[in-house]
Amino acid sequence: MRRRTSILREYDTGGKKILKRRTQILDDLRERRKFWEQKEEAFATVFKARDSLNDTIVAVKKIKLGSRAEAKDGINRTALREIKLLQELKHPNIINLMDVFGHKSNVSLVFDFMDTDLEVIIKDTSIVLTPANVKAYMLMTLQGLDSNGVLKLGDFGLAKFFGSPNRIYTHQVVTRWYRCPELLFGARMYGTGVDMWALGCILAELLLRVPFLSGESDLDQLTRIFQVLGTPTEESWTVRYSLYSLTPHALGATSPPFLKDSIGVTSLPDFIQFKQFPGTPLRHIFTAASDDLLELLGSLLAIVPLHRCSCQQALKMPYFRWGPSYPLHSSPSYRN
């Protein structure tokens, strides 16, 4: 494997020639400045740039310094977490961290450049999303889309390593529309079921071409969820299990000891009582969906966390048994 000359060395060595290259890159970014201002994130600004070493287009994520302590330490904790995770996560459908470089008090991350993201694809009604497109995107899973139709996971700034026995997480994760009931009820200990729920919301959005559950507040979000999927009861939510009888995806193979006892929805920190909604059959909402697709969607959007499927279980479901070929070799087509 040929070793690529690092951009980090370019910036660290300094000199007029290097500074000129940097100016050229920044000038190139200004061509799309209006577009990228709309893509500014809470902790960083993302630019389109040209790698002068191999003449390829890349995405440069310039991290904003947070607190004074972070500025003193020389790096934002969010950036450090993202760098650490992406150095370990290598997969065709995970965004590739190509390089990291510092300049003065800033740190920048260099990624594969993705032409668009899934939200843009979904909202553009001139784009035709076929059942094959939907299935392929579910296979590749989430976040960024390149011109060859390859989907990649990205933005790991708020991600954390999973599986510590007594770790308490924050419930303020995931954009509200994709947040599962246990998070909305303030759960501090949870598993990958929160991600499976979010994936279910995205699958629903791919089918409807609009957000599936778009609450205006956490209370409204829960109301919308229960109106569609039914209100859970203490009996339906409560489960009893030993520490190692859990399916690993739901709460992790090393779940905290207190989870040996029964857990009810009313025990969640921010629980409030809701009207009992019977729910609406998914078939009445997704009228064109096949039985196999509805089975997958129902498994992803199970109200009770332990009832949600894992990634491995989802990929073995009948929906993925037949086609399409993966990956798709072109982007979705446009309407005439």
Cα gap 229→236, rounded to integer Å: 13
* 249 close to 305: Cβ distance less than 8 angstroms: no
Cα gap 7→12, rounded to integer Å: 9
Binding-site residues for ATP, in ranges, read 61
Cα gap 230→53, rounded to integer Å: 56
Q: How large is the C-alpha radius of gyration of the chain?
A: 22
Choose among 187, 148, 150: nearest CA to 169: 187
Scan for tokens 């909604």, then name that residue: 277
Give the number of C-alpha atoms closer than 13 A to the C-alpha of residue 271, restricted to the C-beta side. 16
Helix (H) and strand (E) counts for the chain? Answer: 15, 9
Q: Which residues pair with 152 in a beta bridge?
A: 144
Binding-site residues, in ranges, read 61
Q: Output the DSSP codes for 70-133.
A: HHHHTS-HHHHHHHHHHHH---TTB--EEEEEEETTEEEEEEE--SEEHHHHHH-TTEE--HHH
* 206 close to 129: Cβ distance less than 8 angstroms: yes
For residue 66, what are the CA distances in angstroms to 37, 44, 311?
Answer: 19, 10, 35
